[in-house]
Amino acid sequence: MTVRVGAENLMDISFVDRLNGWAVGFDGVILHTTNAGRTWKLQPGPGASVALLGVQAISSTTAWISGGPAQGYVARTLDGGATWTQELLPGDPLSISAIEFRTADEGWAAGYIGVWHRTV
């Protein structure tokens, strides 16, 4: 499904190069472009119960997303967004409002009550 840009409530955007990028927003919306944003395709996401607040593109096939509400949500795709694998966050719930990943395996997620570091 191709969507019209501006038709969604988006919160973050990340491009890995001039062609490939993701945007995320409320209601679990994940959009992906492979043509510099000329068209965006809606990808399967966590559903309307999750507001996605952050995205970090790593490569044309790998990206991380994060959000909330209070229980927190962090997930990764390795296949261009066809599937997303949710991470299990330790300890108390974290509402994840920001992420920073430098590789497909290592990065940080921060929220209202802490920081989570993922390593290999």
Local structure of 24: helix, strand or coil: strand
pLDDT at 101 over 60: yes
Count of structural domains, the chain: 1
Q: Residue 62's domain spans which residues?
A: 2-118
pTM value?
A: 0.87
The Cα 7–Cα 25 span in angstroms is 11
Tell me what the pLDDT averaged over the chain comes to.
Answer: 87
Instruction: Look at 51-55, 79-83, 105-109, 112-116 and tell me which has the smallest mean pLDDT.
Output: 112-116
Q: pLDDT-derived band of residue 110, with 50, 70 and 90 as boundaries?
A: confident
Read off the tokens for 67.
Answer: 């959000």
CATH label of the domain that carries residue 54: 2.130.10.10
- The pLDDT value recorded for residue 69 is 74
